[in-house]
Amino acid sequence: MTIGDFVFLSNYYMTKKERYERVIDWFDKNMPVVDTELHYDSPFHLLIAVILSAQCTDKRVNMVTPALFEAFPTPEVLAVSSPDDVYEYIKSISYPNNKAKNLVGMAKKVMADFNGQIPDTLEELESIPGVGRKTANVMLIVAFNKPAMPVDTHVFRVSNRIGLTDNSKKPAQTERELIKYIPSRYLSKAHHWLILHGRYVCLARKPKCEECGLTPFCKYFTNKQ
């Protein structure tokens, strides 16, 4: 038996618990410090950036937010503005009309119901216009350092490919499986690990397996051999 055969068989018969342990260990050693690539200076501005990032790259969002943050430094200022005012700053972002309306609606809700402070619970965050479960979970882990697992397209794809999830069909199923197997102390890191891995290595159309350190634990890589 060759070394390649041994690696193949070890990967093929690996239990889910073993796969999680080895993936987490690899990331922890190779990417010990990770964070969002969105630029922000307060929970309020982070929420703006995360809302804008839906179906848009972080790079593009970071290009428009400096001027946007300067024009709307607080929820009070944004709440008394119009969507047309906001649109002028974000028109290069995907779906700018809807996002402009959501940003103003968000600020009004924050002022009316949360005394101008961004709330730090999932339920309260999800009550805000433009904030779905993924956005709320991002806020929990990035702004408030609480354990959560936001599932975007990268997390969804990479989890299925590696074999952390069992070909889950919906983000909610992926979230449940990842939370079940990843220790809570690693959850926020694991979210960033999977996003960055999907963004730069495990690409949607052509994953860079030749550059990937996870191949010994990856179902996708094993199955294509």
Q: Is 56 annotated as a binding residue?
A: no
Residue 154's nearest CA partner among 190, 202, 187, 220 is 202
Asked whether the CA dihedral 159, 160, 165, 170 is positive or negative, the reply is positive
Q: Is 202 annotated as a binding residue?
A: yes
Of 99, 109, 152, 189, which is the active-site residue? Answer: 152
Q: How far is CA 220 from CA 105, 135, 154, 163, in A?
A: 42, 28, 15, 8
146 is catalytic: no
Q: Is 218 annotated as a binding residue?
A: yes
Q: How many CB atoms lie within 10 A of CB 151?
A: 25
Of 134, 146, 219, 224, which is the active-site residue? Answer: 134
134 is catalytic: yes
In three state form, how does the secondary structure of 114-134 look? HCCCCCCCHHHHHCCCCCCHH
Q: Is 209 annotated as a binding residue?
A: yes
Mark the binding-site residues for [4Fe-4S] cluster, compressed into ranges. 202, 209, 212, 218
Positions marked catalytic:
134, 152
Mark the binding-site residues, compressed into ranges. 202, 209, 212, 218
